[in-house]
């Protein structure tokens, strides 16, 4: 019993340690974000002009944002390969570890054990080798073992399995960047909800264009989904016509895109690169021709890219604009309040309130 639990808990502890730096990073980022936000609020107008200046500088510095070339492809299928693609997220590594270190060894041991038992029965107890069969019908020890052992094995699998499930359902933190993937027949649209609300339409490149770009045909697209690395992303999916499914094997997720509802997932990508996936729900005639290409960039690059898009703004700029609008909306209201309080009516009201307070006292 103890040995089984030790077997289950040890790899867990090892993994939790490995995951710690990532957790620290995530908890760090809200702090820096908050301080940045308060700075932005303090002098919103100044920051906006600086941000605009940056865009201009970026443009002057050689056409601004450059997309990754094929040398940055990290997540893609390989001809003749079997097993999983290399993983580039915490959940992905955990899932792959569970498959490689727990499920495969257990499956292999059980398969060979059962095969051994079968061979033993076939050769040792066939009619020729065993003329007088045993009349034994019960053996308490064996019955206890073949009941308890499978229970222990199932518990051993359940612990990491439920852990993985829980991690995959973890809610994104409040400062996560929201990006919504809309499935259409038969292409994807990426909506940047927190960055000004623009939508990037992504279609598959034809074979000549893909080969020209040095990318794999039927995975290469004209406009990739650009996302930041090391930052939690609130990935949402939506089906605009039928059910599609948004999935990237090397990032260990598959999220259905369903008409009439939004599905949500937290995703944090470790390193910059290009990660390919495909629509994973049979959605009609061109289902096989709506690939997904995620281009993960540093937050700095991501912010630069966002500003090349129509109406695109960094999260800080969106916040600054909202603060400015709120201030503008609050200013006339505050003036009205002040005018009311200065008037004689307000003085009378105050006197009445004071009188009634005196009465109740
Ligand atoms: Cu589809």
The b-or-e profile of 65-84 (16+ CB within 10 A means b, else e) is: beebeeeebbbbeeeeeeee
Which range (109-118, 126-135, 226-235) has the least confidence? 126-135
Share of the chain above pLDDT 90, in %: 69
**Separation of alpha carbons 239 and 258, rounded Å:** 4
**Separation of alpha carbons 259 and 241, rounded Å:** 6
- 172 CA to centre of ligand 1 in angstroms: 25
- 204 CA to centre of ligand 1 in angstroms: 12
What is the rounded average pLDDT for all residues in the chain?
81
- 279 CA to centre of ligand 1 in angstroms: 5
Q: In this predicted structure, what is the pLDDT of residue 199?
A: 96
- 16 CA to centre of ligand 1 in angstroms: 36
Which range (42-56, 75-89, 197-211) has the least confidence? 42-56
Task: Choose which CATH entry (3.30.70.360, 2.60.40.420, 1.10.10.10, 3.30.450.40) describes domain 1-127+140-327.
Answer: 2.60.40.420
Place of tokens 């398969």: 111
Task: With a cut of 80, say whether residue 353 has pLDDT above it.
Answer: no
- 266 CA to centre of ligand 1 in angstroms: 21
**What's the number of CA atoms in the CB half-sphere (13 Å) around residue 55?**
17
Average pLDDT over residues 57-72: 68
Task: With a cut of 60, say whether residue 308 has pLDDT above it.
Answer: yes
- 287 CA to centre of ligand 1 in angstroms: 5
Helices then strands (H, E): number in the chain? 9, 11
- 243 CA to centre of ligand 1 in angstroms: 7
Q: What are the structural domain ranges in the chain?
A: 1-127+140-327
CA angle 70, 75, 78 (to 5 degrees): 90
Average pLDDT over residues 195-217: 95
Q: Does 186 sit behind a cis peptide bond, omega within 30 degrees of 0 on the bond before it? A: yes
- 313 CA to centre of ligand 1 in angstroms: 29
The band of 346, judged by pLDDT with boundaries at 50, 70 and 90, is very low
pTM (2 d.p.): 0.71
Average pLDDT over residues 67-96: 94
């Amino acid at each position: 019993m103890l040995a089984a639990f030790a077997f289950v808990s040890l790899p867990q502890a090892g993994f939790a340690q490995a995951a710690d730096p990532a957790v620290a990073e995530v908890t760090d980022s809200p702090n820096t974000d908050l301080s940045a936000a308060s700075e932005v609020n303090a002098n919103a107008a100044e920051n906006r002009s600086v941000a605009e200046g940056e865009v201009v500088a970026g443009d002057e510095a050689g056409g601004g944002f450059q997309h990754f070339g094929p040398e940055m492809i990290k997540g893609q299928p390989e001809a003749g390969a079997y097993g999983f693609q290399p993983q580039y997220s915490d959940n992905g590594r955990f899932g792959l570890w569970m498959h490689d270190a727990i499920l495969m060894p257990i499956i292999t041991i059980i398969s060979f054990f059962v095969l051994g038992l079968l061979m033993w029965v076939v050769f040792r107890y066939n009619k020729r080798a065993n003329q007088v069969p045993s009349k034994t019908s019960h053996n308490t020890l064996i019955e206890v073992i073949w009941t308890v052992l499978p229970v222990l094995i199932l518990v051993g699998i359940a612990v990491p399995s439920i852990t993985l499930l829980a991690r995959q359902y973890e809610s994104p933190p409040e400062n996560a960047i929201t990006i919504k993937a809309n499935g259409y027949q038969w292409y994807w649209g990426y909506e940047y909800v927190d960055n000004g609300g623009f939508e990037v339409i992504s279609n598959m490149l034809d074979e000549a264009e893909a080969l020209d770009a040095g990318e794999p045909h039927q995975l290469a697209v004209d406009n990739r989904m650009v996302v930041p690395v090391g930052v939690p992303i609130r990935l949402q999916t939506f089906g605009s016509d039928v059910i599609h499914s948004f999935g990237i094997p090397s990032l260990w997720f598959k999220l259905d895109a369903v008409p009439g509802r939004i599905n949500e997932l937290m995703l944090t990508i470790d390193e910059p690169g290009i990660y390919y996936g495909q629509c994973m729900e049979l959605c009609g005639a061109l289902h096989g021709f709506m690939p997904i290409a995620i281009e993960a960039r540093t937050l700095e690059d991501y912010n630069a890219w966002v500003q090349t898009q129509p109406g695109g703004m960094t999260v800080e700029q969106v916040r600054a604009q909202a603060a400015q609008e709120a201030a503008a909306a609050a200013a006339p209201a505050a003036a009205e309040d002040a005018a009311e309080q200065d008037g004689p009516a307000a003085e009378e009201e105050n006197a009445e309130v004071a009188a009634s307070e005196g009465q109740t006292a």
